[in-house]
Amino acid sequence: MNIFCDECKKNIATVFLTKISGTEVSKVQLCEECAKRMEETTEAVNLLAFLPQVLSSLQGVEENLVEDILTGELLTCGSCGTSFNDFQKMGLLGCADCYREFSDALHRVIIEFQESDEHIGKIPGRASEGARLRRRLLDLEKHLQQKIAEEEYEAAAAVRDQIREIEVRLNADVMESDKE
Amino acid sequence: MTRNNRAASVADWLGTEGPGYPLVLSSRARLARNLEGVHFPCSAGEEDLERARGMVLEAVSKRVADDRDWDIRFAEELSRDELGMMTEEHLTSRSFADRMGGRAVALSWKDGRSVTVNEEDHVRIQVIMPGAQFMEAWREADKIDSCMEEEVQYSFDQELGYLTSCPSNVGTGLRVSAMLHLPALVSTGEIARTISALGQAGVYVRGLYGEGSGVVGNMFQISNRQTLGRTEEFIVRSMDTVVNQVADNERTARKMMLRESELGLADGVYRSLGIVERARKMGFFEALELISQVKLGIEMDLIPMDDFSILEVGVEVGETHLRERLGNDAEKEDVERERAVHLRRMLAL
């Protein structure tokens, strides 16, 4: 008894595939040719598959942003010329600056996909100390603004001293690396 | 890498047993990096691609490829066959074989270490090890990364971490994956529940070659989805936990199958063995399915045969590897015939 291919119903099925789409699992019986074709065309569970869902969830939240995204024309990276439209099609950005140029829309994509928007992993070695200091600096500057807003001037002055200290160290680093 | 010395070293890790054997076949850690101030490969011009390749390869040869095991090759110099072999051995991704200008690969064939240049990102560092050795694989990749970083400046953002061409890799750029052989979970249908649980735990499930979602030969590749907002160690440890859980599920499913119908199970694996013994021609996917069943029979002490490496045999019956044995002008039918013959040879039948 031969089993025929689920796909073409013509050839004899020799391959028994487990098909995963999202979290759905099904079994299919295919001939070698159809199996190969299917493997090539099945949708990978990747960012691209995920994008439309995220972008449609933007609707109603920020009308202007959505319009920009839908027309795709206004959002183009000044550095590499990649448009947000290109990104939607390919799932790929053109350069590091795209992250800044598309930051509003991209931020949501990243939050939805990564469930986070802050890197807490490895920091490049050579730049590590500087990067850490600069991050601290950003935090302190925010803190300073807050203290000023709250009219806690004494606390603000203490924060400002810390900022100066870090700035001195950062400048020293720059001079050090210039010497190299 | 000449053809001859290549054939002698069909990636060693493929045939090696690691921790978690026989359920966990291999571990892979991959880091994605890009050079600062150069457009990502998909939008880079020829000049930029060449420049990136020069910078990366210089870093590799100065800091990483310090022994004879390493082999550096430009993609355009590799033949179709060599590209196909590398894909079949999981050393490079399928898209690498679509050779686009400016690509290159540095490989250490023996131990599954590689650096590919100008694929989706400027730099992809990959380490594959047999069995469940996620921490070891990541440490090795991290070591290569740190060495490279003494020579090149990576594109790095204070908030988002390492910037990658696809935002699904941004942050650590780390993707850890495991290849698992799960025939009993598939047979019992329990795989559906496992996959849905994995999905909720932020883990991808894919088929043998990591692309598409059809699963052949009951071999599943699972990998972390999130690369941002977690430390590398957290990602690696989570993968370890998840993989242990899935392997446990497979063990339980195997016991259940034995308990429910040992005769049915034995019948199934022996039917597969029968086809392997008698078939005159065989397709690749069919071969993978049969290998999986025979392997299950051996592991469950139903078939008294010597054990074999499912990954190694799977690679050996691949299209390019068979053509290598037959010569380039082999017809499709010749390949299918050779596959049936070679499979018996590999299993000592």
Q: What is the pLDDT of residue B40?
A: 95
Give B141 to chain A, closest Cα distance, Å: 13
Provide the whole-model pTM: 0.79
3-state secondary structure of A24: strand
Q: Which amino acid is at A7?
A: E
pLDDT of A12 reads 83
* 3-state SS assignment for residue B49: helix
Q: Using CB atoms within 10 A of its CB, is residue B334 exposed (0-12), middle (13-18) or buried (19+)? A: middle
Residue B330, min C-alpha distance to chain A (Å): 19
The predicted structure's pLDDT at residue A40: 45
- Alpha carbons B126 and B175: distance in angstroms, whole number: 9
pLDDT surpasses 80 at A57: no
* Interface probe with A: pick from B98, B157, B158, B195, most Cβ of A within 10 Å: B158
E strands within chain B? 24-33, 70-74, 104-108, 113-117, 123-130, 156-157, 161-162, 174-181, 203-206, 214-215, 219-224
Q: Per-domain residue ranges for chain B?
A: 3-249, 258-346
pLDDT band, very low/low/confident/very high, at B201 (cuts 50, 70, 90): confident
Please give the Cα distance from B76 to B219 (Å, whole number).
32
Q: What is the pLDDT of residue B210?
A: 39
3-state helix, strand, coil in chain B (%, to 5): 50, 15, 30
> Which pairing describes strands B214-215 and A15-21: parallel, antiparallel, or unpaired?
antiparallel
Q: Which of B133, B129, B95 is nearest to B114 (CA)?
A: B129
The answer to whether residue B98 neighbours chain A at the CB level (below 8 Å) is no
User: For B197-207, what is the mean pLDDT?
Assistant: 80
Nearest Cβ partner for B161 among A94, A95, A119: A119
In the structure encoding, which two tokens stand for residue B313, read together?
Answer: 């045999």
Taking residues B185-189, report their average pLDDT.
88
Please write the tens of the pLDDT for every residue from B80-99. 778 888 877 777 776 676 66
pLDDT at position A99? 95
User: Do B293 and B287 contact (CB within 8 A), yes or no?
Assistant: no
Residue-level pLDDT at B189: 84
Q: Can you tell me the mean pLDDT for B266-270?
A: 97
Most confident among A37-46, A78-87, A99-108, B137-146 (mean pLDDT): B137-146
Among B168, B249, B296, pick the best mutation site for testing chain A contact (most A Cβ within 10 A). B168
Chain B contact set for A22 (CB, 8 A): 199
Nearest to A116 among B163, B205, B229 (CB): B229
| pLDDT band at residue A45 under the 50/70/90 scheme | very low
pLDDT band at B257 (very low <50, low <70, confident <90, very high): very high
Which string of DSSP letters, residue by residue, matches A104-171?
Answer: HHHHHHHHHHHS-----S---HHHHHHHHHHHHHHHHHHHHHHHHHTT-HHHHHHHHHHHHHHHHHHH
Distances (CA, A) of A7 to A18, A33, A38, A135, B211: 14, 10, 9, 56, 20
What is the sign, positive or negative, of the torsion defined by CA atoms of B226, B230, B233, B234?
Answer: negative
More confident residue, B235 or B196: B235
Say what the pLDDT of residue A174 is: 61
Are A94 and B142 within 8 A, CB to CB?
no
Give contacts of A 19-38 with B, CB under 8 A: 19-25, 32, 35-36, 38
- Quickly tell me which residue has 């990978």 as its tokens: A44
Q: How many CB atoms lie within 10 A of CB B158?
A: 15
Query: Is pLDDT of A15 > 90?
Result: no
The mean pLDDT value for B283-302 works out to: 94
pLDDT surpasses 90 at B290: yes
Whole-number percent of chain B with pLDDT over 70: 93
Q: What is the pLDDT of residue A32?
A: 78
Residue with tokens 């795209």: A98
Please report which confidence band the pLDDT of residue B195 belongs to, taking 50, 70 and 90 as the band edges. Answer: confident
Nearest CA in chain A to B42: A94
Task: Say if CB A30 and CB B198 are below 8 A apart.
Answer: no
Query: Which is it for the CA torsion B242, B243, B246, B252, positive or negative?
Result: negative
Say how far apart CA B136 and CA B345 lie, in whole Å.
34
Alpha-carbon distance B166 to nearest alpha carbon in chain A (angstroms): 5
Cis omega before residue B22 (within 30°)? Answer: yes
pLDDT at A43 over 80: no
- Closest CB from B159, B211, B215 relative to A20: B215
Q: What is the average pLDDT value for chain A, to the nearest integer?
A: 75
Res A178: pLDDT: 53
Which of residues 3 through 32 in chain B touch A, CB cutoff 8 A?
A: none
Residue A31 pLDDT grade (very low, low, confident, very high; cuts 50, 70, 90): confident
Tell me the chain B residues in contact with residue A132 when contact means C-beta distances shorter than 8 Å. Answer: none
**pLDDT higher than 70, residue B268:** yes
| pLDDT tens digits for range B303-318 | 999 999 998 898 899 8
- Which among B293, B288, B292 is positioned nearest to B269, based on CA atoms? B293
* A46-60, A157-171, B330-344, range with the lowest pLDDT: A46-60
Q: What is the pLDDT of residues B6-49, one digit of tens each?
A: 433 456 777 778 898 999 999 999 999 999 999 999 899 989 99
- For position A58, what pLDDT does the model report? 57
Local confidence band at A50 (pLDDT 50, 70, 90 cut-offs): low
Dihedral of CA atoms B181, B184, B188, B194 in degrees, nearest 10, equals: -40
Angle, CA of B208, B209 and B213, to the nearest 5°: 70
Q: Check residue B14 and report its DSSP letter.
A: G
Q: Cα-Cα-Cα-Cα dihedral of B331, A42, B189, B284, to 10°?
A: 10
A126 to B153: CB separation less than 8 angstroms, yes or no: yes
Cα B273 to Cα A13, A31, B219, B299: the distances in Å are: 18, 20, 18, 14
| Gap from B12 CA to chain A (nearest CA, Å) | 27
Distance CA B64, CA B54 (A): 15
Give the pLDDT band of residue B260 (cuts 50, 70, 90).
very high
For chain B, give the mean pLDDT.
88
CA distance B186 to B209: 18
Give pLDDT, residue A131: 62
By percentage, how much of chain A surpasses pLDDT 90?
A: 14
Starting at the edge strand that comes first in sequence, how are the strands of the sheet with B214-215 ordered?
A24-30, A15-21, B214-215
More confident residue, A82 or A50: A82
- The CATH number of the structural domain formed by B3-249 is 3.30.590.10
Nearest 5 degrees, angle CA A19-CA A21-CA A26? Answer: 35
A127 contacts chain B (CB < 8 A) = yes
Average pLDDT of span B327-348: 93
| A155 contact B CB<8A | no
* Residue whose C-alpha is closest to residue A177's, from A137, A127, A131: A127
Q: Grade residue A152 by pLDDT with cuts at 50, 70 and 90.
A: confident
